Amino acid sequence: MNIVILTGAGISAESGVPTFRASDGLWCGHRVEDVATPQGYAADPALVQDFYNQRRRQLAEVQPNAAHYALADLAARWEGNFMLVTQNVDDLHDRAHETSPPAPGFELIHMHGELLKARCSRSGLVSDWPGDMAADEPSLDHPHGRMRPHIVWFGEMPLHMDRIETALAACDLFVSIGTSGAVYPAAGFVQAARHAGARTVEINLEPTQGADLFDEGVYGPATETVPSFFN
Ligand code: BV8
């Protein structure tokens, strides 16, 4: 049986990572349009680097929660293909999977990039964010040119879309966890899964604007709903 799970900011909320909507579209006091766009970065690279440095520093203070670990346990015992696609740029899924190694058919995809990675603006080379970088340094000099956060901004193509679309076309079960369905193309994945004949389930704090697109809805805090749904 093939499963595709999509997660959003709601799965990390109980770990203490602020969600996009709860902050009225503001992250760390910044308007998203000013910082999560290529235009915002071009206009003020230091502001954008600082915005992501703040969120990068926050990561050191948070831990995966029971929902992340429930998915890691599921991945360890899953027989078949299991794609976990996250819109989140935190590393909480990655850390949760360190403790229970996933089965061979598992893949974790960060479709909107990762806070702990940097990308060369010229060559596209992706590397780990250098931990020693001073928070106020606007950008990293690199032989290829300016390093930017390895984050997919609004107006930029999400990562690994070909692999995601292939998995959706072949999935038997699609579960969306902790996402408002406000951002495309992730918000359209449920339609692709339905088209493939998959059973579709929305797990969220409350029904989202796209709730009617799902066969089933499970509502409540992710640390309760996710472990109980998969155990
Ligand atoms: C693209 C990185 C094309 C940045 C992010 C009009 C119509 C359709 C589309 C568009 C349109 N206008 C513009 C677009 C395209 C645009 C888009 O969708 N805009 C929206 C705003 C309308 N999309 C894009 O630009 C994408 N790219 O389309 O490219 C293209 C094609 C070819 C060539 C080039 C380009 C790129 C989108 C990626 C943007 N980057 N993140 C950063 O993080 O700094 S998206 C950003 O928003 C985050 O990734 C975050 O994940 C996402 C918000 O979504 P959620 O994760 O769902 O978070 P949210 O807070 O909204 O919801 C949380 C949910 O959790 C809530 O439902 C809540 O109830 C629930 N919850 C809370 N607590 C709990 C809980 N659930 C359970 N338990 C709890 N405890």
Residues 35 and 132 in one domain: yes
Mutation test of ligand 1: which of 183, 202, 224 has the most ligand atoms closer than 8 Å to its C-beta?
183
pTM for the predicted model, two decimal places: 0.94
Q: Which residue, by CA, sits nearest to atom 29 of ligand 1?
A: 157
pLDDT for position 130: 76
Q: Which atom of ligand 1 is nearest to the CA of 7?
A: 56
Rounded distance between C-alpha atoms, residue 218 and residue 230, angstroms = 12
pLDDT in tens, 40-50: 999 998 889 88
pLDDT in tens, 118-138: 999 888 999 998 765 544 444
Q: Which residues of the chain have pLDDT under 50?
A: 134-138
Q: How far is the CA of 80 from the centre of ligand 1 (A)?
A: 28
Mutation test of ligand 1: which of 24, 154, 219 has the most ligand atoms closer than 8 Å to its C-beta?
154
Whichever domain contains 198, its CATH number is 3.40.50.1220
Q: Domain limits at 57?
A: 18-61+115-151
Is 112 part of the annotated catalytic residue set? yes
Whichever domain contains 24, its CATH number is 3.30.1600.10
pLDDT for position 129: 84
Q: Which residue has the tokens 């293909």?
A: 81
DSSP 186: G
Helix (H) or strand (E) holding 180: none
Rounded distance between C-alpha atoms, residue 164 and residue 48, angstroms = 28
Residues 173 and 80 in one domain: yes
Helix (H) or strand (E) holding 191: helix 189-195
pLDDT in tens, 82-98: 999 999 999 999 999 99
Residues 100 and 162 in one domain: yes
Longest dimension (CA), the chain: 51
